[in-house]
Amino acid sequence: MSQPAPALDPAWVKGVLIALTVLFFAVFIFLPLFLVFAEALKKGWDYYVSAWTDRVAFQAIQLTLLTTAIVVPLNSVFGLAAAWLITKYNFRGKTFLISLLDLPFAVSPVIAGLIFVLVLGSNTPVGAWLGTLGIKVIFAPPGIVLATLFVTFPFVVRELIPLMQSQGREEEEAALTLGARGWQVFLRVTLPNIKWGLLYGMVLCNARAIGEFGAVSVVSGHIRGETNTIPLHVEILYSEYNFTASFAVASILVFMALVTLVLKAWLEHQFEKSEKGDLP
Amino acid sequence: MSIEVRNLVKSFGAYRAVNDISLKVESGELVALLGPSGCGKTTLLRIIAGLENADSGQILLNGEDVTALPVREKKVGFVFQHYALFRRMTVFENVAFGLRVLKGRDKPSRKQISERVNHLLKMVQMDWAGGRMPSQLSGGQRQRVALARALATEPRVLLLDEPFSALDAKVRLELRRWLRKLHDEIHITSVFVTHDQEEALELADRIVVVNKGAIEQQGTPEEVYDKPANAFVYNFLGNVNVFHRRTQDGSAAVGFVRPHDVGLSKVRTKPSDVEGLIVDARIRGRQVAVEVSVAGQERAIEAEIARDAFKALGVAPGDRVFVDLEAITVYAEDYSI
């Protein structure tokens, strides 16, 4: 029995699209991925490991991890607060606030970095005042944390706003009528409802915080062994023609990206299941 | 536990959702707030619950002023139109929620919670579903769970916001009767909001008809149906034929007569009878709905008569009949439909 032809595009369209996709992935993802590792391992395993464990590289890894350890929790809290404010309350200037949240995505990261230099640099009033207190922000780790905070702010809040909007306020209202206090409503009703979305936003935020280059580059000052993050260290090694070491350190970022991808896929899956109500 | 509302006012911007409403619900009563959508009935209910703040006016529960109390301390049970069950909790945990968030002395033991929840689930005939998630239940089942949840904390009053409107017709009818029975058993002072006049007539001890933020009439279902206070109530409660006329002094008037009060006969029985032409006759349950077109009346008049009477009359579409409109009620025309 012959099946009636479905009202779709002819088979060759599908074939061409698949071929294009495969080609794109091959050129832009798999080939570079392969080359990163090929280049990194060019001088053997020992050299590869030594590029990681080098004192300066180790400092860069430490600073990157420290930055993300500060940035991701803070942006999760800020993002939650902002999403809560926007979705549960009505106030003047709400639309304006929503568009402001996208500012870090709209502005070039380099500009974002420059803003901090212009406001907090040691030759500015604020920077000078902080200097008298012995606090150095620009060309120091605090500046790197601030710049990363700014650049990665939208990830959590952008994930939460549509989710919380679609869920409405009724469950929270029901909890209130049942005698729950504000924090009980948050912990028992709101947080469980948004947890997968929140985690998803945190993973994206984390990935960007690790990989951020532009904004961090401006405020870092590139002081070796002090204010370099992994991406900055990769760039320095590369500009010194130390390709093998550069790619070896870059492979750390690749590993982190792979972990992020797996986490992201798993979270998306959980997220979908929980939206259907199959998961507690 | 009685509810009293005094001179309540609530505006959203320039729009007055509740315009100086005063209302008393006696202890144990089941009262319907009936009105078209956007008339302010839901806002009124939400203000009573404390989910919305009034601009001015007072709410009293059993004579005690609770206007300024936060929702949590008002101790009212609230049932939402779209159930608002906690989607990440089982049915059991949903019902137990109000007990689990209690503090200190009031906090019941694990065993007490379990007993109370199981008792409530049995009462709403959902004891088999304790371990299910809300998404696995039908609309009617969810609403019964929501009701059990609202009753778990032994609220002082029960407020229901369009509790059946998201359900399909058959389940709605079933749940309506079931709620009436439940109320007869537990006698909790209850107020429900509805735009469905049939629901209000069948379920409520007393109906409060609301329009444009104000009360048009309140009374028993018989009172509001048989003796509508004004044209709005007449028109809103039940099917009705509307006549626009000019009175002798020239002012506009509007007349109403319900289809089942319209009489039909083959010969003129009264001088006031109107002659017309049958355009349609359709069976509606045990009744027949007959449409008669009359000169000078734009829309056909609808008459509802028993099937036997229609058969005895021996008429069919296309025949002439005389229409008895003696039951008409006339109001001065001061509003538009």
Q: Delimit the CATH 2.40.50.100 region(s) of chain B.
A: 241-332
Q: Is the same domain home to A76 and A23?
A: no
Q: Are residues A158 and A118 in the same domain?
A: yes
Residues A126 and A162 in one domain: yes
Q: Do both A28 and A83 map to the same domain?
A: no
- Residue span(s) of chain B under CATH 3.40.50.300 come to 3-236
Q: What number of C-beta contacts closer than 8 Å exist between A and B?
A: 77
A129 and A176 belong to one structural domain:
yes
Say yes or no for a CB contact (<8 Å) between B87 and A277: yes
Asked if residue A137 and residue A24 are part of one domain, the reply reads no
Structural domain contains residue A1: no
CB contact A88 to B (< 8 Å): no
- Considering CB atoms only, which of A180, A277, A278 is closest to B101? A180
Query: pLDDT tens across A28-69, in order?
Result: 989 988 988 898 888 888 888 888 888 999 999 999 999 999
Residue A280 located in a structural domain: no
Q: Is the domain of A16 the same as that of A55?
A: no
Cα angle value B99/B100/B102 (rounded, 5°): 70
Q: What is the mean pLDDT of residues B207-234?
A: 91
In which residue are the tokens 């991701």 written?
A72
Same domain, A98 and A203: yes
CB atoms within 10 A of CB B70: 11
CA-based nearest residue in chain B for residue A173: B51
Nearest CA in chain B to A181: B72
Q: What confidence tens digit (pLDDT) does each residue in A59-82 have?
A: 999 999 999 999 999 999 999 999
On whether any CB of chain B is under 8 Å from the CB of A174, the answer is yes
Which tens digit of pLDDT belongs to each residue from A200-211? 999 999 999 999
Query: In B, what residues contact A, Cβ < 8 A?
Result: 49-51, 71-72, 74-78, 80, 82, 84-90, 97-98, 101-102, 133-136, 146, 149-150, 152-153
R_g (Cα) of chain A, nearest Å = 23
Name the residue facing B87 among A181, A188, A193 (closest C-beta): A193
Contacts of residue B173, defined as CB under 8 A and 6 or more positions apart, other chains included, come to none
- For A29-36, the CB contacts below 8 A with 24+ separation are A33/A254, A36/A247, A36/A250, A36/A251, A36/A254
CB contact under 8 A, A170 and B84: yes
Residues A27 and A85 in one domain: no
Domain count, chain A: 2
Closest CA to A188 of A269, A278, A280, A277: A280
CATH topology assigned to domain B241-332: OB fold (Dihydrolipoamide Acetyltransferase, E2P) (2.40.50)
| pTM beyond 0.90, yes or no | no
Claim to verify: residue A31 and residue A145 sit in the same structural domain? no
A154 plus A15 within the same structural domain:
no
Residue A51 belongs to domain spanning: 44-275
B85 contact residues in A (CB cutoff 8 A): 171, 174
Q: What does the pLDDT look like over A90-130, one tens digit per residue?
A: 888 999 999 999 899 999 999 999 999 999 888 888 888 98
DSSP state of B261: G
Contacts of A89 in chain B (CB under 8 A): none
Average the pLDDT over A241-269 and give the result. Answer: 89
Give the whole-angstrom CA distance, residue B111 versus residue B158.
26
Q: Please report the ipTM that was assigned to this predicted complex.
A: 0.83
**Residue in A166, A177, A186, A196 to test binding to B, most B beta-carbons within 10 Å:** A177
Q: What angle do CA A53, A55, A61 make, to 5 degrees?
A: 70
Which CATH entry fits the domain spanning B3-236: 3.40.50.300, 3.90.950.20, 2.40.110.10, 3.40.630.30? Answer: 3.40.50.300
pLDDT reported for residue A172: 93
The 10s digit of each residue's pLDDT in B116-159 is 999 999 988 999 999 999 999 999 999 999 999 999 999 999 99
